Amino acid sequence: MYSVTDGYQDAITAPTRECRSRVTIGGKVIADDGDLRKITYDRGGGEKLIGNIVSQTATIELVDRDGIYANLTGDVLVETGVTLTGGAVEYVPMAPLSVDHVEVDKAAKTATVTAYDALQRAGTVKIKELPDIIYPITVKTYLAAVCDLCGIQHDDGDFLGSDRQLTEPPNFSGEETCRQVLEQIAEAALCNGQLNRDGKLTLAPAWIAPDDALQRLAVQGDTIETGAGDKSPSNLYALAGVTPT
Q: How confident is the model at residue 41 (pLDDT cuts 50, 70, 90)?
A: confident
Percent pLDDT > 90 in the chain is: 76
pLDDT tens digit string along 169-200? 999 999 999 999 999 999 999 999 999 999 99
What is the rounded CA–CA span in Å between residue 81 and residue 62? 18
What is the value of pTM for the model shown?
0.75
Write the pLDDT tens digit of every residue in 44-101. Answer: 766 678 899 999 999 999 999 999 999 999 999 999 999 999 999 999 999 999 999 9
Provide the 3-class DSSP secondary structure of residue 208: strand
β pairing state of 75-83 and 28-31: unpaired
pLDDT band at 217 (very low <50, low <70, confident <90, very high): very low
